[in-house]
Amino acid sequence: VQLQASGGGLVQAGGSLKLSCVASGRPISGYPIGWFRQQPGKEREIVAAMRRTAHMTYYADSVKGRFTISRDNAQNTVYLQMNSLKVEDTAVYYCAAARSVPGSGTYFMAREDTYDYWGQGTLVTVSS
């Protein structure tokens, strides 16, 4: 599966953005999905993840209550709705898909090495 992320841009603190990740080649419905980000000078980190169905999601503590991950299988697209953005949310955001996620909990959902397919990043800049 190929992934194409978009929707990044410049936004003021407190604002909102919605990132999209369009899948091609295979139906995205068959894949657990994740959004990661890499902030300047830092390693890439998990932001949010979802198993094949929406019955289980994972959010980093730093984004809980502000970000929402979702998927539209009919559009073969996954989304990351980002509200109440903060300057520290500035980062390059990546979408990813996994062939499978071990176990039944959230531990492996949050690990970068669980994911097999990556989109190119989209830059989100939050100004004060």
Q: What percent of the chain has pLDDT over 70?
A: 100
Q: Cβ distance 47 to 25 under 8 Å?
A: no
* Residues comprising the chain, all counted: 128
What pLDDT is recorded for position 117? 97
Q: What percent of the chain has pLDDT over 90?
A: 93
* 93 Cβ contact partners less than 8 Å away, ≥ 6 residues apart: 5, 8, 19, 35, 36, 37, 47, 80, 121, 122, 123, 124
Beta strands in 39-111 (DSSP E): 45-50, 57-59, 67-72, 77-82, 91-97
The mean pLDDT of the chain is 96
Relative to beta strand 33-38, strand 91-97 is antiparallel
Residues 61-92 pLDDT 10s: 999 999 999 999 999 999 999 999 999 999 99
